[in-house]
Amino acid sequence: MNELLIIIFAPLIAGVIAWALDIKGVREIIGVIGAAVPLAYLIKLYSEVDAGNTIRYSTNFGGFTFDFALTHLSWIFAMIAGVVGLAAVLGMVSTSRNSYEWLFALMSLSGVYGVFLAYDLMGFFLFWELMTFGSFMMVLKYNRSASLKYFVLSIIGAYAMLLAIGMIYAKVGSFSFIEVYKALSQDAAMGAVGAGTIFSRGEMAAIFGLFLVAFGVKAGTFPLHVWAPDAYSETNQSYTAMFSGVLSKTGVYGFILIYMLLGYRLIVEFGTFRSVPKFGYIIAFLGGLTIVIGGILAALQEDIRKLFAYSSISQIGYILVAIGVGSALSIEAGIYHAISHALFKGLFFLIVATIVYRTGKTEFKDMGGLAEKMPFTFAMAFVAILSLAGIPPMVGFASKWLIFEAVISQNMPILGGMVFFGSAIGFVYLIRFTYAVWFGQRPTDLDDVKDAPLPLAIGMAILALLNVVFGIAPGIVAQELNKVFGSDVIGGTIWELNIGVGKYSGLLITIWLVIGMLVAAIIYFLGARVRRVPVTDTYQSGNPVTMDYNLTIRRNFFLPLKEALSFWLRISFDKLYRDIAKTTEDFADTLRNYVYNGNVQSYAWYLAIVLLILAIWGV
Amino acid sequence: MISVYYFGSISLILIGLYAVLVKRNVLKMLIGISIMETGVNLLLISIGYVSGKSAPILSEGIGPSQAVDPIPQALVLTAIVIGVATTAMALSVAVILYEKYGTLNVEEIRRLRG
């Protein structure tokens, strides 16, 4: 059997076996093996990919030829799926309730591998649907309405993609990426010299718009993000690490595909806006809105799971901004952030899984002082917080810094502002998570909480370690990304990133940070005076607390923000979609009352009128 | 020039249709349906009529070339039976409706049913 097929189908086969055997203990082992096998194969194939070979495989099935290929780009994305998928599956060893979850979690992982390795549009679509179906079933078991919302939006995305693929196939006559790329770049060349093209301007706009909807749904782009907060929070939290870390990356990969397949043609057709392709600017602007809206909504949540769901949406916005800006540096920065987002967001959701698993609570108001009880999880959370907030020795800083540099170097003030705002709001919601969950007074019912179970701890440790390693040596990732582009877009050594306008050395900063911490520790141990501060002193600014405006960090901490934004918060896309559904229902109801009214005589009238029309027509 | 047979039978159909569309009483609607049926049967028969020919019964002096079209007559024979059967069934439904609701007005029955 071919190696690519093993990578794609190993999780699915393991999932089916685990589901069929359904023996507690055995199914977990099979599941972990199923997630580990593709990762092992990907590592094994690295040397070949690194040498510049593309590993290809094609098979004929039911009249269609399915192409698979492992290029450098798809290797990077598949590695994200492999590492975060393995960590999430390890987490599921602790948190899964039954074999049903193993089947569908591993099925969606198979779908993700298929999406990344597929080299033709048909296979891409099929695996895309497999992934959607698996994740839909995972949500369905926990919350029906959340899963339905996810399903409806996914269906809209899937049909949009299918239509776009159909339009391309109708003109090109092939699904293969290579054929499509050849046809479209030829078309672009024809368009550039003003000759006739096979795709008209309107068709290109339609294909782009349809792909935008299809990939936007999966990535959680504004205004199609409404499914994500519910779906991310209403499922097995270990699985959410995969959901948010890996599945959303297929949307990102899709946007990169737009560049790879349609990019030249779209630039020729629609031109550029300040050296940024116009179609990319649309992606970037949607990404910017996603950052701002996801960030603000994350700050207003009272539920940990919801907070990280919105934060995940917000972080995906960064990737879209970077990809949309469309220079080589910014696309590389976008992929870099996709990697770091998978690492820290996967870690975050595993931490949330641990908290929910150990305490059974999800809201800030029930938490507090867990750092003493769960030191290991707290250490992991500390890494994740630093990484998401973009504090230097973590991978989150390297990728965000690259995005800032990429956006600024293209002279994009609005996008730059949105990205900076997103970072600021990132601190706003993270400080709440940091303080409300880990510090402060502990509710008495959390006194006998234990630390993370071993499999979850291993899963978290893998991701945290990578967060730190890629942070201290950011060049490891950057050099892999350079190989994708075939040129040194980001220079420097493995310790240092150099993009011409600026340098960032992860190692140097780490050394200085360690020295700084040592100095602080020496001062502390030499006898700094310790004074215990009452918890209430830290957040009330000296004002007396009244009961009706009690803004502790655990409850309504950002209520003033909420009140200031109340007008904007009323405009919710979630509500808009519900209103559309309601209007449709009302319209159907009206139709039922006046047309389908149960009166035999009115049906006789309809019949008579139709007959009359036919008679006049002369049938 | 429309033949008087066509005109008469189509008028019967329209009168029946009028009763079905406008009358509120179930029995009157059923009468309308019966009238429509009669009209349809007459129309079918008149389609098969060939001017100056006699009944399609093979007997002395009457061969296949002297008879009117026999097919509509067979069709109408079937249609009459079906018509009677549906009328009988509809009448029994009308009886049940009256027993159940105490009225034969379709509007009222619809309202009572909710």
Say whether residue A517 is in contact with chain B using an 8 A CB cutoff: no
How many angstroms separate the CA of residue B78 from the nearest CA in chain A?
24
Q: Is the pLDDT of residue A327 over 70?
A: yes
Contacting residues of B for A608, CB less than 8 Å apart: 17, 21
Contacting residues of A for B20, CB less than 8 Å apart:
601, 604
The pLDDT value recorded for residue A534 is 63
pLDDT for B94: 92
Q: Which of B21, B106, B110 shows the shortest C-beta gap to A605?
A: B21
Q: Give B110's contacts in chain A (Cβ within 8 Å).
A: 598-599
What pLDDT does B54 receive? Answer: 81
Q: How many CA atoms lie within 13 A of A393 on its CB side?
A: 15
State whether residue A600 sits within 8 Å of chain B by CB: yes
Instruction: Please determine, for residue A441, whether its predicted confidence score (pLDDT) is greater than 90.
Output: no
Do B20 and A599 count as a contact with CB atoms less than 8 A apart? no
Residue A601's closest chain B neighbor by CA?
A: B21
Quick: pLDDT tens for A5-37.
Answer: 888 888 888 888 888 887 888 888 888 888 888
Average pLDDT of the residues in A495-505: 80
Residue B21 sits at the chain A interface (C-beta within 8 Å): yes
Give mean pLDDT, residues A235-243. Answer: 87
- Specify the pLDDT at position A551: 60
**In this model, does residue A265 exceed pLDDT 70?**
yes
**Rounded to a whole number, what is the distance in Å from the CA of A603 to chain B's nearest CA?**
9
Q: What is the mean pLDDT of residues A186-207?
A: 81
The pLDDT score that the predictor gives to residue A445 is 81
> Token pair for residue A321?
């901004």
Chain A within 8 Å of B110 (Cβ-Cβ)? Answer: yes
Q: Does B97 touch chain A (CB under 8 A)?
A: no
Q: What percent of chain A has pLDDT over 70?
A: 96
pLDDT per residue as tens digits for the range A310-322? 999 999 999 999 9
Cβ-Cβ contacts under 8 Å, B30 against chain A: none
Return the residue matching tokens 């990732």: A477
A608–chain B Cβ distance below 8 A for any pair: yes
Q: Is the pLDDT of residue A83 over 60?
A: yes
Which of A600, A605, A608 has the CB atom closest to B106's CB atom? A600
Query: Are A601 and B17 a contacting pair at CB < 8 A?
Result: no
Phi, psi of A20 (to 5 degrees): -70, -40
Residue of A nearest to B17 (CA): A608
DSSP labels for A374-405?
-HHHHHHHHHHHHHHHT-TTSHHHHHHHHHHH
- A432 Cβ contact partners less than 8 Å away, ≥ 6 residues apart: A299, A307, A364, A553, A557, A558
* B20 touching chain A per CB within 8 A: yes
What's the mean per-residue pLDDT of chain A? Answer: 84
Contact between residue A607 and residue B21 where contact means Cβ atoms under 8 Å apart: no
Instruction: Indicate the residue of A599, A604, A605 with minimum beta-carbon distance to B110.
Output: A599
Share of chain A above pLDDT 90, in %: 10
In this complex, do A601 and B110 lie within 8 Å of one another by their Cβ atoms?
no
With 90 as the cut, is the pLDDT of residue B28 above it?
Answer: yes
pLDDT at residue A7 in the model: 86
Do strands A64-70 and A276-277 pair parallel, antiparallel, or not at all (unpaired)? unpaired
Beta bridge partner(s), residue A55: A70
Q: What is the pTM of this model?
A: 0.81
Lowest mean pLDDT among A221-235, A291-305, B51-65: B51-65
**Which among B17, B20, B110 has CB closest to A598?**
B110
Which of B21, B108, B112, B113 is the best substitution to test chain A (most A C-beta atoms within 10 A)? B21
Confidence band, pLDDT 50/70/90 cuts, at residue A535: low
Buried b (16+ CB within 10 A) or exposed e, A532-548: eeebeeeeeeeeeeeee
- A599 touching chain B per CB within 8 A: yes
Size of interface A-B (CB pairs under 8 A): 15
Cβ distance of B21 and A604 shorter than 8 Å = yes
Closest B-chain CA to A606: B21
Cα(A380)–Cα(A388) distance, integer angstroms:
12
A236: left (phi over 0), alpha (psi -120 to 50) or beta: beta
Q: Is B84 or A411 the better-scoring residue by pLDDT?
A: B84
- The residues that bridge with B35 in the sheet, in sequence order, are none
Residue of A nearest to B21 (CA): A601
Chain B contacts of A600, Cβ < 8 Å?
Answer: 106
User: Residue A1 — pLDDT band, cuts 50, 70, 90?
Assistant: low
DSSP string, B30-48: HHHHHHHHHHHHHHHHHHT
For chain A, say whether B17 makes contact (Cβ under 8 Å): yes
Tell me, what's the pLDDT at B93? Answer: 92
Q: Does A601 touch chain B (CB under 8 A)?
A: yes
Verify whether the Cβ–Cβ distance B21 to A598 is below 8 Å: no
pLDDT for residue A545: 57
Average pLDDT over residues A66-71: 85
Partner-chain contact A600 B21, CB within 8 Å: no
When pLDDT is averaged across residues B57-79 and rounded to a whole number, the result is: 85
Give the Cα separation of B74 and A141 in Å (integer).
64
- The answer, yes or no, to whether residue A138 has pLDDT greater than 80, is yes
User: A220: pLDDT confidence band, cut at 50, 70 and 90?
Assistant: confident
Reported as a pLDDT band with limits 50, 70 and 90, residue B41 is very high
Please indicate if any CB of chain B lies within 8 Å of the CB of A598: yes
B96-106 average pLDDT score: 88
What pLDDT, on a 0 to 100 scale, did the predictor assign at position A525?
84
| DSSP for residue A541 | T
> Smallest CA–CA separation between A113 and chain B, in Å?
57
pLDDT for residue A202 is more than 90? no
pLDDT band for A51, please (50, 70, 90 cuts). confident
Distances A134 to A12, A17, A97, A123, A139 between C-alpha atoms, Å: 10, 16, 16, 17, 9
- pLDDT at B57 > cutoff 90: no
Instruction: Give me the amino acid identity at A522.
Output: I
Distance from CA of A601 to the nearest CA of B (A): 6
Q: Is residue A459 packed enough to be buried (19+ CB in 10 Å), middle (13-18) or exposed (0-12)?
A: buried
pLDDT at res. A533: 67
Q: Which residues of A touch B22 (CB under 8 A)?
A: 601
Q: Is B106 on the interface with A (CB under 8 A)?
A: yes
- Rounded to whole angstroms, the Cα distance separating A491 from A497 reads 6
**pLDDT at position A542, please?**
59
